[in-house]
């Protein structure tokens, strides 16, 4: 049965819905919540419609290829689909790419968000008072806007001052500020979430966890920045999708919610754990290696690399009743197993064939 709010069926636009987190959200909305979804994605390198294959035949799914910076295209989507909710995940998100090409991050993350907010506001103003009260613009952001943490005890809270370190995190901080401004100035009913590092199936293999897995499976060096002592709080992507649903349907308008996995791990430990999982699952070893750990190669650290992120998700737990279902160990095991059994998916990404499908 389709979810509804006060008897009005939900119709959700998901920007960036062909990306890693976006596709997990779309699968959750359709398969679990039975909500009608319009995916909007420009299908840049990180967008992959093959990640939506399990829902693409559903009558609750439709897709529009468009760039969020294109006002006319976004206006047309809103007018045709008539959404009750928007979940904005479209973003350039790879820190390394932001260092070598920051302008694309400003264009998509800042300008694109501004365009989407204006289109959403114009649409919202045409709704009846009851429909306006039900509408939500949910902006999905990152914990990287807070910069990094000193020591081992401090946690990011919703009140932590912004101190972004990279062009990526600065552009996401800018988009967060725009969303808050559109709420305060125009009354647009918004929600903001800032989440810790995600991992899981369908993760584009340039990020740490999937890159480690696929490089190891191909017998290639597994690069680790610096000494690998950077600490991240890891969250299984399906737990994130469940959290976003909680915020979308029960969060208070104008509020920010931090979402974290309570799984702080150093990058080196993450890599070593993955390689140990592969040792336990595969009888073959890379040529000349007794263990997959021997593939580890320490490389020069990247500029401005944050040392530690960690989320205090108390607000999510106490006000919305959300808790992650996966531990770091269970989620990482599921992730490794998925990449072992879905080799065709990631090989097509590595070769670029997915972009011609």
| Residue 242: Cβ-neighbour burial (10 angstroms; 0-12, 13-18, 19+) | buried
Integer Cα distance of 353 and 357 in angstroms:
7
Q: Is 264 a known active-site residue?
A: no
Q: Is 188 helix (H, G, I), strand (E, B) or coil?
A: coil
Catalytic residue among 41, 50, 143, 264: 143
Nearest to 225 by CA among 288, 305, 289: 305
For residue 143, indicate whether it is catalytic. yes
Q: Annotated catalytic residue: which of 61, 168, 199, 202?
A: 168
For residues 22 and 289, give the distance between their C-alpha atoms in angstroms, rounded to a whole number.
37
Say which residues have a Cβ less than 8 Å from residue 59's Cβ, sequence separation at least 6. Answer: none
Cα–Cα distance, 294 to 204 (Å, whole number): 24
Instruction: Tell me how long the chain is.
Output: 357
Range 342-345 contact pairs with CB under 8 angstroms and sequence separation of 24 or more? 342/201, 343/217, 345/50, 345/51, 345/202
Half-sphere exposure of 206 (CA within 13 A, CB side): 14
User: Phi and psi for 264 in degrees, rounded to 5?
Assistant: -80, 125
Side-chain-side CA neighbours of residue 214 (13 Å): 23
- Of 304, 295, 99, nearest to 211 by C-alpha is 295
Do the bridges between strand 231-236 and strand 85-88 make them parallel or antiparallel, or are there none, so unpaired?
unpaired
- Residue 144 is a catalytic residue: yes
Alpha carbons 333 and 354: distance in angstroms, whole number: 25
Active-site hit among 41, 144, 239, 326? 144
Handedness of CA 47, 49, 50, 52 (dihedral sign): positive
Q: Catalytic residues, which ones? A: 143-144, 168
């Amino acid at each position: 049965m389709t979810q509804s709010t006060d008897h009005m069926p939900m119709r959700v636009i998901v920007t960036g819905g062909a990306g890693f987190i976006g596709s997990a959200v779309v699968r959750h909305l359709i398969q679990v919540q039975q909500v009608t979804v319009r995916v909007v994605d420009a299908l840049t390198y990180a967008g992959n419609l093959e990640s939506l294959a399990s829902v693409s035949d559903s009558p609750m799914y439709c897709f529009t290829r468009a760039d969020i910076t294109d006002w006319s295209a976004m206006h047309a989507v809103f007018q045709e689909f008539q959404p009750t909710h928007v979940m904005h995940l479209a973003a350039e998100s790879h820190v390394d790419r932001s260092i070598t090409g920051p302008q694309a991050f400003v264009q998509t993350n800042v300008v694109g968000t501004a365009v989407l907010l204006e289109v959403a506001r114009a649409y919202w103003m045409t709704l009846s008072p009851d429909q306006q009260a039900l509408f939500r613009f949910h902006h999905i952001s990152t914990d990287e806007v807070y910069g990094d943490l000193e020591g081992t005890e401090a946690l990011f809270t919703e009140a932590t001052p912004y101190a972004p370190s990279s062009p990526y995190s600065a552009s996401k901080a800018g988009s967060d500020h725009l969303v808050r401004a559109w709420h305060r100035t125009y009354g647009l009913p918004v929600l903001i979430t800032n989440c810790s590092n995600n991992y899981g199936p369908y993760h584009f293999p340039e990020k740490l966890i999937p890159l480690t897995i696929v490089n190891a499976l191909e017998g290639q060096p597994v690069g680790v920045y610096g000494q690998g002592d950077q600490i991240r709080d890891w969250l299984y992507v399906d737990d994130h999708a469940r959290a976003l649903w909680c915020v979308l349907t029960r969060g208070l308008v104008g509020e920010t919610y931090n979402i974290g996995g309570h799984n702080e791990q150093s990058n080196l430990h993450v890599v070593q754990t993955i390689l140990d999982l592969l040792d336990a699952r595969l009888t073959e070893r890379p040529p000349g290696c007794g263990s997959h750990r021997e593939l580890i190669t320490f490389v020069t650290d990247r500029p401005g690399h944050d040392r530690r992120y960690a989320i205090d998700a108390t607000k999510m737990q106490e006000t919305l009743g959300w808790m992650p279902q996966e531990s770091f160990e269970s989620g990482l095991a599921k992730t490794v197993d998925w990449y072992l059994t879905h080799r065709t998916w990631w090989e097509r990404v590595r070769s670029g064939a997915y972009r011609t499908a």
